[in-house]
Amino acid sequence: MPDAVPRYVIAPAAEEDIASILSWTHAQFGEQARLRYEALLTQAIMDVVDSPDLRGGANRPEIAPAAKTYHLFHSRNHVGAKSARVKAPRHFLLYRTRTDGLVEIGRVLHDSMDLNEHIPEDFRLPRGDA
């Protein structure tokens, strides 16, 4: 059986964001809330990987070449039963499609944050294949 071909990469800064978000959610709201938010994050990532130009995604050329943002709110109805959904997610993905075709998740940020202050330097460069 051939190895699965990766379709996305998660930048180290985004990995740290996800760990921090899930840790904070667990501490503030408990395990079940963390599991719901984890499922939502996973679904949102898969949604942008499956369709980088999906509805709800916004082109952000003022931030970086090929940069897009996607609020987790747009994926909340794609996750399980209504009772298992996050009612009011507050994070968005910063992502782009690289020249090698992979979708790169650069950051996962709270929607109250100033995006320009949190863009990884390498993300400002044209769609690199880091």
Instruction: List all residues 6 or more positions away from 103 whose beta carbon is below 8 Å from its beta carbon.
Output: 7, 8, 9, 48, 49, 52, 95, 96, 97
Length of the chain in residues, anyone? Answer: 130
pTM for the predicted model, two decimal places: 0.85
Per-residue tokens: 14: 């985004």
Instruction: List all residues 6 or more positions away from 25 whose beta carbon is below 8 Å from its beta carbon.
Output: 33, 34, 37
pLDDT in tens, 17-73: 999 999 999 999 999 999 999 999 999 999 999 998 898 899 988 888 789 999 999
Taking the domains of the chain in order of start, what are their residue ranges? Answer: 8-121
pLDDT band at 124 (very low <50, low <70, confident <90, very high): low
pLDDT, position 112? 85
pLDDT band at 130 (very low <50, low <70, confident <90, very high): very low
Fold (CATH) for 8-121: YaeB-like fold (3.30.2310)
